[in-house]
Structures are given as C-alpha cells and as structure tokens.
Chain A
Amino acid sequence: MKYPMKFRGLFVAAATAATMVFAGAAKADFPEKPVEMTVLFGGTANTIAQLLSELMSEELGQPVVPVARKGGGGAVGYTHLQNAAADGYNIVWNSNSISTTYHTGRIPFDYTAFTPIARVSTEIPALAVNSSTGWTSLADLTAAAKAGGKLKIGISGKGSFTHLTSAALFDAMGISDKVVYISYTGGKAPIELLAGRIDAAIQWPGQFASYAQAGDLTVLAVTGAERASVLPDVATAQEQGVDVNITMWRGLAAPAGTPPEAILVLEAAAKRAVENDRFTEASKNIGFSKAYLGAEDFGKVIASDDIFYGNLLDDLGMAK
C-alpha cells in the first residue's frame, strides 16, 4: 500500500499549501507564480512582447507568459483582462488601442478599467506608396488624389490604429473624400502595395524599411513629431506642412485594483528590461523606439491621449 500513503502525504501538503495561499492578500514576495501577459496583436506588437516578457522573466525570477488574445482591434484581450483577477498576475501589453477600441464602441469600458504599469516603447506610423508611382512627397499624393479617381488605402481592419492614422492624415491633407479603405488581415498591406493593388498604406516603419532600401516602395511621410529611427531620410508630415502628430505608445497595464506593491515590482522589472542591451538592439532591428515612462507619468499620458483620440475620432466621424 505504498501509493495511498503517498497520496495522503500529498493531501497533507495540499492542505498546508491551501491554508497558506488561501489568505490571498498576503503578497509579501510578489511574484510567486507565473505572470500572464495578454498580447493583443501579432506583428511587431507580438515580437516586442515576446522579448519583453523574456527579459522581465529574468528580472522577476518567475516566468512572464505571453498569451495571444488577438482580435477586434484589441477588444478581445481588453475584455479578457478586465474580467481577470486584479492580483498582479494578469497584465496586458497595452497600446493606444485602449482609446480607439473604447471610442469606436467596441468595449464598454475605458482606460480607467486598468492601472498603468509602465510605458515601454513608441512607434511612428509611416505612409508608403509603390515606387513606380513616382510620388516622393505628400504633396505628390495630394495632387494625384485631386486629379484622378479615389485612392485605395490599405489598413489593418476598420477602426484599427492604422485606419485612424490614415483618416487623420488624409483629413489634414484635405483629401478625405478621395480615398477608400481596404482592410487586410495578417499584415499583408506592404505586399498589396508591391503588387499595385492598392495605392498607399499606413503601417509600421519596420515593415517598410527593407522595401524602401531595395527601392520597391517609397515612404512618403511618418506621422509623428520626430522622424523614425529606421527611416531617417523620411520627413515627418509636419515638416511637409500637414498638421498631424500621431505616435503610438506601447506599455504594460493591469486590471484596476491591482495591489500597488505588485505594480511597483512589475514597473521596476519593466524598467530594467527596457534598459537591457538586448532590448536596445531589438529596438534598432525591429524599428521602434524605447520610451520607458514610470506608472504615474504613463497614467497622465494615457489620460491626455484618450481625450486627444476621443476628439479626433469624433471629428473624423469614426466615434460611436
């Protein structure tokens, strides 16, 4: 009867563990089990999340497990997280999509449903066209749009951040009635540009860099206040006289009500991960900027951005 004895021992152990963990609130040395990081998008978002979670695992001594919950411009992941336990073991790889999904009516709660942990990076959307068009600036594009039929613009789904950026940019250029949007799933927009099935596309700089270097695509502009590091020769929209300033941040957040001690630990881990050389190297390779910001300042950025994007979506008629 060896097994029943062992089994009983296991139960005793389980019972002791239960009494220890049942208390719940006693989070003396967070984390004591794996932290689950919800990832909302594929592409660069996923790539950065994979690296960040690995580096944070090293800092925390417990694995940070990235789990993909894609779809609905982030709505799936946000909804999941909003319902998850606010114990510090559920975090989300957040982005401006928290504002766009809320204001376009896909989630019934806004950014206040989450506690900020830290901003990690920023990415500047870039507008590219096929080189054979001969267009080299936003002015060329505007002229072509005014001269001919409607331009086909590739985006990554209705209400996505690239859709919003495109709408804002073409609105500022005065050609918003001269474009139609084509939704592509799976980051295919650059290929569709290459094949000439669409006229222009807004995507992330890293997706265009290789083609721009090979001369297949021309990047006309980036929409941020500063140029993108992987595309140093591409002028910003503002430099070209189009008043648009849109940069997307990515960061970490947890459900509202997560204990401040846990937030502190995660914030510190995120900071050290961002400072890691491997993260710096990856930022150059992938084409995003490191932009660490602590929880408090990050919260302010989220709040002010939410107002900005709320108004922008209203102006563009995309809000619901």
Chain B
Amino acid sequence: MMEHFLDAFGLAFTPMSIAAIGLGSLVGLIFGSIPGLTFTVALALALPISFSLDAVPAIGLLLGTYIGGMTGGSVSAILLGIPGTPSAAATVLDGHPMTKNGDASLALGTAVIVSVFGGIFSLVVMIVSVDLVSKVAIGFGPAEIFALVLFGFSTICGLCGRSLTKGLISGVLGLMIMTIGLDLIEGVPRMTFGSVNLLQGVNLLVAMIGLFAIPFIIEAFSEDAHLPKTPKKMANVRPELPSFRLVFRNIWLMIRCSLIGTGIGAIPGTGGAIASFLAYDHAKRFSKKPETFGKGNIEGVIAPETANNAVTGGTLIPLLSLGIPGDPATAIVLAGLMIHGLVPGPALFMNHASEVYGIYIAVVLAYMWVLGLQLLGIRLFVHVLRVPREILAVVVLVLCVIGAYSIRNSAFDIYSMAAIGVAAYVLVAVRIPITPIILGMVLGPTLENEFRTAMMLSEGKVDIFYTSPTVVVFFILAALVIGLQGLSELRAKSKTKQKVEVSDA
C-alpha cells in the first residue's frame, strides 16, 4: 500500500499532471459558471485531449473538469439565478436571494469553501471504505433505487412555498416532459407525434437552461425604463469572504450533507441533483429558522453545495469499483478510464493500485486548483452584477443558444429551450415554482425505469416493495416528509380560516 502511494505521488506530482488538472479545473469552472454552458460539454471537449496524455494526467484532466464544473455551477446560480448544472438548481433557492441582499460574494465564497470540504470529505470516505460502500451500493437494486428516488421526490414539498398543490403540479409537469421520446425499456415512441426530433426526447440540460435563463431574460427585457434597473443593494458588491467562524458554526451541517452526498453518489444511477435537493430539504427541516429559507439563508447555500460536491467523491465508488457512471458527465470520465486501460472493476484495485491512488491525489489537487481559482475568480465574477441587466440578458441569450445547441448540435434543442423557457416564465408569473420541474425531470426517468425493472424482476408481485428493509425505510421517510408538509399546510390553512382540500394530496 505504502509503495503504491509513493508511486502515486510520482505519477500525480509531475508538472504535466498538475498542469493538466489545473487546465481541467479552469475549463470546468468556466463552463460551469457561464449560464447556458454546461460542463458536460466541457468534458466532451476535454476527452480527446486526454487521449494523448498519460493515464493519471488524463484522468486528472477529466476529473478536474468534472469537479471544476460541479463547483462552478453555483456561480451563475447565485449571481443570476440560473444554475450551471442540474445539481446547482437547489443552490438558486437561497443563493440568488443572498445576491439580492447584497451578499453575492459571501455566498460565492461560502459555496466554494463548502464545495471543497464536501469533495475532500467524500474522497476520504471513498478511500477508507470503498469496499464496504460498494457492497452497500450493490445492495441497491431497482426496488431500492425506486424507493430512494421517491424519497428524493418528496423534497418537492419543501420547495413549493405556500401551495403544495402548485408545487406538485410543477413536479408532475417535469415528470411528464421526460416521458416524451422513445421509451428506454421497450423502444416505444411516446407523445412524439411522429416527429424525429421528439424521438430523442427533451434533453435535461436544454430544459434546465430554458427553465431558468429564459425567464431571467424576459424579466430583464420587460423592466420599465423609469424603474431602477438594478436593486441598489445588488450592485453594491462587497468583496467579503466567509469568516472561519461562519464556516465552523455550520461544520455539523457540512458533515451531514457530505454524508448525504457521498451516499447518494455511491448508489449507481442517481447523481448530484437528488443529493443537493435532499441536503437542502434536510437543512431546512433541521434549521432553527426554517422560515428564512428561500430568502437568503446561508445554510441553504451550504447544504446543496456541500452535498453536490460530495457526490464527486461518492460517484468514484461505482465508477471505479463497478464501472457504472452516475450521469452523462461521469460516463465521459469512464470512457477516459477505459481508453487508458484502467478498466473499472475489482481487478482495477489489484492491477493498477498506483494509478488508482494517483487518481485520488488528482482529485485533491483538483480541489486545490478549484479553491485557488475560484477565490480569485469571485473578485471578477461579482462585477457581472455591475453590468446593466438588459445588456447582460442579451449576452445570456446568445450563451444559452450556444449552450443548448452544443449539447447535441441540434437546432431543435434551441426551439425546445425557447418553448420551455417561455412556458416557465408564464408558470412563474402565476406563482407555480419551477424548481420542482427540474426535480421531476431529473428523477422521472429513473423513477419509471427502476420501477418497471423491479416489477419485471418480481414477475409482477408487489412484495418486492415491502420485503426489503431499505425500501421500507425510504417509503416511511417519504411518507413522513409528505405527511408533515400536509399537516403544516393544514394548520396554515385553518389559521386563515379556509377549508382544507389538499391534506392528502
């Protein structure tokens, strides 16, 4: 073990590999932080470059891009309310209000620090317990994943503000959008109206760009000329970083969210978005002041950002030990591993121990790069707020079109982004929250496919959903979340002397 670690140091601390990791982190940060662009595209660009590098620098480049992108996704989420990745969608909820309160750089600084904490924490968990965790992860069959996703879905309750009905409507709309296209299990076209373009379905990233960026643009374009363009507080950008006390006060929250992130990341086929929403919900539920969530509570930034970066370490477990990518981004990392002869599976740890440790070190290096680059970057990023909103919106418009197009070089994606975006604008205006849509879109396909596979496994018997303790635990958790929300809504309604119809919705 020791000699492998020494070898690994030799592999990871070459100038080439440090530079490759740095380049990856930088490119990832850029793509993650620019609204409209997503780091999945950045990874696709980095992959060919990695072919000509040695194994450790190559994987370092890819993981750097992944980690940089995951961290950078919070930047536009906080500054503009447009998440850079689906995993940063939960960060919008409190990060953007913080910007409106004039605390943009505090939110950004906190986000990067807790991201690094979450990432390193999960890496340590991964190194210490890869065997154990991968055994637990294997135990998650279709029924267990279905139950987990259902639990994740119950967090919608915490996201929908006053009206549970409206939140659920939004979530169901997200679920419906994702059923469009060819069904993955049987290959049946669904709601495609014979259109070739609809066959491939609505891309999650395209929809995400539309959902958050287009309302931003429309809002900016429809501001009245005689009203103040930007709230004064917002333009007044204080270069303020979080104090150690602030970070330390939330250390338990960070550890809990790191565990959530690592755990979710380790389960194949789930991913960062569900982790960040669960963490957000968790933080809100156990906060002393849950009513301040959604208005710029720093805990609402800490929780999802810690969790989604903890996923980066967690996801290495199924990636390296099982060869299962958690999302499209890690699928590209997997391709890089395969090309360099690092075929995932148990034999990887036997035959390529030095490279595996080298990859661990690369992750740490990537987080160091991200920390350094981002802390410098914050000084630049916040100046974006000084740009007049309508001019910024024009730039965002062009970037979004580039971003939507670059995902699969298809103009159809631009049209669907526009349509979804305008629909989202209308929904927001009638006070239907849009965050549950993205949650529905992220979880919908997994929910359906795992349920159907589970039923195939059990040959149609439903006992598969109550004989496994894991499944039962998640069902109970989901029921608790929904029940508690229903209760509190009931109370709120009776206070305003209204009849209650939605307690069991």
Chain A residues within 8 Å of B, Cβ to Cβ: 36, 42, 44, 46-47, 50-51, 53-54, 57, 65-73, 75-76, 79-80, 83, 104, 106, 152, 157-159, 180-188, 190-192, 194-195, 197-198, 206-207, 209-211, 213-214, 216, 278, 281-282, 284-287
| Closest A residue, CB atoms, query B182 | A72
State in angstroms the CA–CA spacing of A70 and B184 once bound together.
Answer: 9
Asked if A54 and B338 make an inter-chain contact with CB atoms under 8 angstroms apart, the answer reads no
10 nearest A-B pairs in the assembled complex, by CB-CB distance: A210-B345, A214-B346, A72-B182, A285-B341, A210-B347, A54-B48, A47-B335, A213-B347, A72-B187, A71-B182
Task: Give Cα distance in the complex from A106 to B188, angstroms.
Answer: 8
A79 touches B408 (CB 8 A): no
From known contacts A71-B199, A209-B343, A210-B345, infer whether A54 and B459 are also in contact, taking CB-CB under 8 Å.
no
A225 to chain B, nearest CB (A): 25
Contact residue among B199, B325, B409, B456 (Cβ-Cβ distance under 8 Å from A65): B409
Residue of B nearest to A195 (CB): B138
**Which residues on B sit within 8 Å (CB–CB) of A70?**
200
Q: How far is the CB of A257 from chain B (nearest CB, A)?
A: 18
Q: Pick from A76, A104, A198, A286: contact of B338, CB below 8 A.
A: A286
Task: Tell me whether A210 and B323 are in contact in the complex, defined as CB-CB below 8 angstroms, given that A65-B409, A75-B182, A192-B141 are known contacts.
Answer: yes
B48 contacts A188, C-beta separation under 8 Å? no
How many chain B residues sit at the interface, stated as a range, is: 35 or more
A202 and B44 alpha carbons, distance in the complex (Å): 29
Q: How far does the alpha carbon of A53 sit from the alpha carbon of B339 in the complex, in Å?
A: 13
**Contacts A158-B185, A278-B51 given: A285-B324 contact, CB under 8 Å?**
no
- With most chain B CB atoms within 10 A of its CB, the pick from A65, A183, A192 is A183
CB contact under 8 A between A75 and B187, given known A46-B331, A46-B335, A50-B335: yes
Q: Nearest CB to that of A182 among chain B residues?
A: B456
Asked whether A214 and B350 contact (CB < 8 A) given A69-B200, A73-B187, A195-B141, the answer is yes
Contact across chains for A50 and B339 when beta carbons are under 8 A apart:
yes
Report the number of A-B residue pairs with Cβ-Cβ less than 8 Å: 143
Chain B neighbourhood of A83, CB < 8 A: 196
CB A237 to nearest CB in B, in angstroms, measures 24
Q: Give complex CA distance A213, B339 in Å.
A: 19
Task: Report yes or no: A186 in contact with B187, Cβ–Cβ below 8 A.
Answer: no
With contacts A50-B339, A67-B409 known, is A157 near B185, CB below 8 A? Answer: yes
Chain B residue at minimal CB-CB distance from A193: B138
- Chain A residues, Cβ within 8 Å of B335: 46-47, 50
Proximity string of chain B (412-438) to chain A, C-beta cutoff 8 Å, 1 when within and 0 when not: 000000000000000000000000000
> A50 CA to B45 CA in the complex, in Å?
10
When each residue 333-375 of chain B gets 1 if its CB lies under 8 Å from chain A and 0 otherwise, what string results? 0110011110111111010000000000000000000000000
Q: Which of B181, B200, B268, B338 contacts A285 (CB 8 A)?
A: B338
Q: Which residues of A contact B483 (CB under 8 A)?
A: none
**Assembly CA distance A222 to B194 (angstroms):** 39
Considering the chains assembled together, what is the distance between the CA atoms of A44 and B142 in angstroms?
23
Q: How far is the CB of A68 from chain B (nearest CB, A)?
A: 7
How far is the CB of A71 from the nearest CB of chain B, in Å? 4
Q: Is the interface of A mostly helix, strand, loop or mixed?
A: helix
Provide the bound-state CA to CA distance between A281 and B55, in Å: 13
- B residues apposed to A, CB below 8 Å: 44, 47-48, 51, 138-139, 141-142, 181-182, 184-187, 189, 196, 199-201, 268-269, 322-325, 331, 334-335, 338-341, 343-348, 350, 408-409, 449, 452-453, 456-457, 459
Whether B269 pairs with A188 at a CB distance below 8 angstroms is: yes
Contact B343 A210 (CB under 8 A): yes
Say whether A190 contacts B343, CB under 8 Å: no
Judging by beta carbons under 8 Å apart, are A69 and B408 in contact? yes
Identify 6 residue pairs between A and B in the complex whose beta-carbon atoms are under 8 Å apart, listed by A's number: A36-B409, A46-B331, A50-B48, A67-B408, A76-B200, A281-B341
A44→B196 CA distance, assembly (Å): 25
Which B residues are CB-close (under 8 A) to A79?
Answer: 196, 199
**A59 shortest CB reach to chain B, Å:** 13
Cα–Cα, bound, A188→B267 (Å):
12
- Do A191 and B199 contact each other (CB < 8 Å), given the known contacts A54-B48, A57-B48, A206-B343? no
Per the bound structure, the CA–CA distance linking A114 and B341 in Å amounts to 33
Given known A191-B322, A207-B323, contact A184–B453 (CB-CB < 8 A): yes
Chain A residues contacting B345 (CB-CB under 8 Å) are 209-211, 213-214
A96 CA / B332 CA spacing, docked (Å): 24
Tell me which residues across on chain A come within 8 A of B459, comparing CB atoms: 180
